[in-house]
Structure 1
Amino acid sequence: MRVFDMIVDERRRAADLFSGLTADQLRRPSLCAGWTVHDVAAHLTTYLRFGQLKIYTAIVTTGADFDRFNLLLTRRAARLPIERIVARLRRGAASRTTIPRSGYDPVLSDLLLHDLDVRVPLGIRRDTPEDRLRVVFRHLTQEPSPGYTMGDRLAGLRLVATDTGWTYGSGALVRGSADELLLGISGRAWAFDRLAGDGLPLLRARVLGRTRPGAATRLMAPLRVLTSPPPRDRRARTAVAPAQVRQDG
């Protein structure tokens, strides 16, 4: 399946999920620190409404502090009732807007991670298609966009997904299900009590001890993206999930 088609389907699934939640469920804390389930739903609409203008505005107004800018936009969008948020998700499901010169992979990654952010605390199970998880695993481990500040947190670590057999890197072991690994490496503290391996303390320390980069460092990341060749294979309408995850070591 094309990555774009996965994105469209995930947005529609998200709309269906949020539309069926109770007021109590929408008020529950998500795995995103400080955000409720309702906040996560609102966040998913901000990119649909502002597109790439959101990225450039954040660079100009906050010195590329995307975390801060996301908080501002999400807080504003979260004032809407869930019915209007769901309607926006449905209307924008087929949006082709991407992070500048970064392709569709980070868009799908954002959708799947936030899906887990909501379903895990609510106890709503789902067998996520493996090809979609593979796209996210590949993106976060091999070529994360500036929106995913991975830095060197995976250096010297070997990741093993126990349910899919995917591996990445070399060094101290961190193992768990694909869902747990994705949540752990993307900064969700919930995952650290589920993952295992002698590399877990190092990953935990790197993630939880992460400091906010200074203005110069923040500005360099989008500058590198804007001056680098776009990943044509990941932007193309025919782009599909990678056949396999690279294995190192």
Structure 2
Amino acid sequence: MASSPKKSTTSKAGSAKAGPAKSVAAEPEQGWRRRLWFWTKRVLAGFAGLILALTLIYAFVPVPTTLYMIGERIRLGGIERDWVGGDEIAPVMFRSVVAAEDANFCLHWGFDMAAIRDAVDRGANRGASTLSQQTVKNVFLWHGRSWVRKALEAAITPVVELVWTKRRILVVYLNIAEFGEGVFGIEAAAQHYFGVSAAELSPVQAARLAAVLPDPKRWDPAKPTSYLRRRANSIVDGAATIQVDGRASCFEPKAASKD
């Protein structure tokens, strides 16, 4: 009769000891996860803060360089580049790059949903990216295809559209775009290929420069192939069309703020 209570007491004691041991073993793992999440949040918050700060700064200040430019400068030993303001770029160059790359630039808020749906339906890899998205990629991110970059691009683009004017987006784009191997920005491109300043570009010259943007290392605006000539002629017509139908209104000088 007296032995039963002893067994019961021992069993309870054993159970009491097992609980704390299990909890102590789980504590290091939970602590590691909490620290990882804490630092992940801090890194993400820091990155978001940096992007926001740069977006505000670059709304007024020239973009000094980009990750891609740095890589090309190291690879080639140097690059050609000279930043110019919007008033130092021929108006036809603005219209030409929009006609070539993003004809609905003035009509969207950073994403051309109709172009995206069309690209998905056609299974195309190119054609849905707006000039706003391309500018964000060139200024803040890196080249190459990855879901991480596309996600960051999608997150940053609306911020840039909100802070910058449409004209500012084009001014930045034209000053950092690659127009040939080691040739960055519209001023360097105009001087390199045609021996004129960006302000002196003719409609045909502007169209040829815009025509090479999809593959600047492959095509030469000064020595156009028959395909490049046809594409440039189409861009000349497109640039004239968007000027007439109002699709250039958001970046014409009268609509511009300081750039």
TM-score normalised by L of structure 1 = 0.31
Higher helix proportion: 2
Q: Which protein shows a greater Rg? A: 2
TM-score normalised by L of structure 2 = 0.30
